[in-house]
Amino acid sequence: MARTPLIAGNWKMNKTVHEALVLVAELMPRLHGLAGVEVAVCPPATALTEVNRALAGSAIGLGAQDVFWADSGAFTGMLSPPMLRDVGCKYAIIGHSERRGRFGKPDECLNPDAARVFGDTDASVNLKLKAALKHGLVPIVCVGETLPERDDGLADKTVAGQVRAGLADVAGEAVAGIVFAYEPVWAIGTGRACDAPEANRVTGVIRKTLHDAFGSEVAQAVRIQYGGSVNERNAHDLLSQPEIDGALVGGASLDASRFSQIVQATSVIAKDTRKD
């Protein structure tokens, strides 16, 4: 089954509104007319409205970096699915390791107690995922192991467990529209990417987990990205892997030239695959 790769730029806590608009203006002409790849940018919440206006008429989709599970209420600081839809979001990142308080390279100012402000768990990921689906947002659900978990031989168990817990009580027909992102925590923000064959292997673990729970048709339909120090130099090797369907890009997405090179590489790979 052919799956259209998705390249999504997670800008994290970067870019003022003005800086976001400059980046989008530089990005759009570089990506115009590229085929075989879906592209999204996920700015900070403060820039969503203006970036959505700037993207009008382009093929670049808009995503949020998080979403809450309630439609409204006394939840200070949270953004609901209807709010995100209202400002033009198509995608929502859910359960990023930084939102779970799992950091590959922690900032020195984040001690364990302070890091609890990043409070996502498998249970909250599940609630957010279901809320996003209910309101027509495409969830980009992040899973991945820490370095101690990998060193202890628990990478596969950790990732599979996060997938199963995130999909608890989700109907099989809805699962095919979800995007997963395998993001080994130790590779995020560290400059140390997982090598391509291993990233492909663990992505295959995710697909097998989906197969076991929902069957072959659903498993083959779900797109699974790789994320974790993806850049213009390693993108081709990673995105050429048969199980990897795009990338969730962090630091490199903050530069129009670097991000567009990743998208362009994906478009070339997609074109070559269609020829095959």
> At 40, which helix (H) or strand (E)?
strand 38-42
Collapsed DSSP state (helix, strand, coil) of residue 221: helix
Residues contacting 110, CB < 8 A, separation 6+: 103
Burial class (CB in 10 A: 0-12, 13-18, 19+), 19: middle
Catalytic residue among 96, 145, 149, 232: 96
Asked if residues 193 and 228 have their Cβ atoms less than 8 Å apart, the reply is yes
96 annotated active-site: yes
Collapsed DSSP state (helix, strand, coil) of residue 269: helix
Distance CA 144, CA 76 (A): 28
Asked if residues 234 and 263 have their Cβ atoms less than 8 Å apart, the reply is no
Catalytic residue among 38, 98, 183, 232: 183
Query: How far is CA 205 from its chain centroid?
Result: 17
> At 257, which helix (H) or strand (E)?
helix 256-275
183 annotated active-site: yes
Q: What positions carry a catalytic annotation?
A: 96, 183
